Amino acid sequence: AFDQPVTARDPALRTRMDELGNRLLAALDAASDATESAIQDLDPAYGSLIDARATTWLARTTDGRAALVVSQILAADRAATPDDWAQLNSADAQNRTAWQLVGRMIRVNGFDGSVKEAYDRADRLYYA
């Protein structure tokens, strides 16, 4: 379909792809939840690591949302609207909150020094 002009494409294609993507994400989430549950059943000490990983992904996801808004603005060759700014500010606040929570989890739960070093490096390079 991508080699066809947009007007010639099946109008239902986007909906079908969105539905397929949502089903795939739901299946991945369920598999991830089952895996994390099995890991915690085997060794509850991994719970903090799993929570930190999940929160790190939350930071990544919210940052991705902001990048999407910026991409849409640039692709449309327009200035950001007040709604765009609200979305960007919200995503930034959620991203930074999640990232700071990860840092707290690492400090409080006595993670390995290599994890602390990796967090500190990412914090300096991306958030400073």
Residues 51 and 35 in one domain: no
Question: 36 lies in which domain range?
Answer: 1-42
Query: Is the CB of residue 13 less than 8 Å from the CB of residue 1?
Result: yes
Low-confidence residues in the chain, pLDDT < 70:
1
pTM for the model stands at 0.72
CA proximity to 58, closest of 91, 106, 86 = 91
pLDDT at 45: 83
- Considering only the C-alpha atoms of the chain, give the largest distance between any 2 of them, rounded to a whole number of Å: 58
Residues 35 and 52 in one domain: no
Q: 69-94: per-residue pLDDT in tens?
A: 999 999 999 999 999 999 999 999 99
Residues 111 and 63 in one domain: yes
Residues 84 and 21 in one domain: no
Residues 52 and 19 in one domain: no
pLDDT at 1: 66
Q: Buried b vs exposed e over 87-101: b needs ≥16 C-beta within 10 Å?
A: bbeebeebbeebbeb
Residues 48 and 66 in one domain: yes
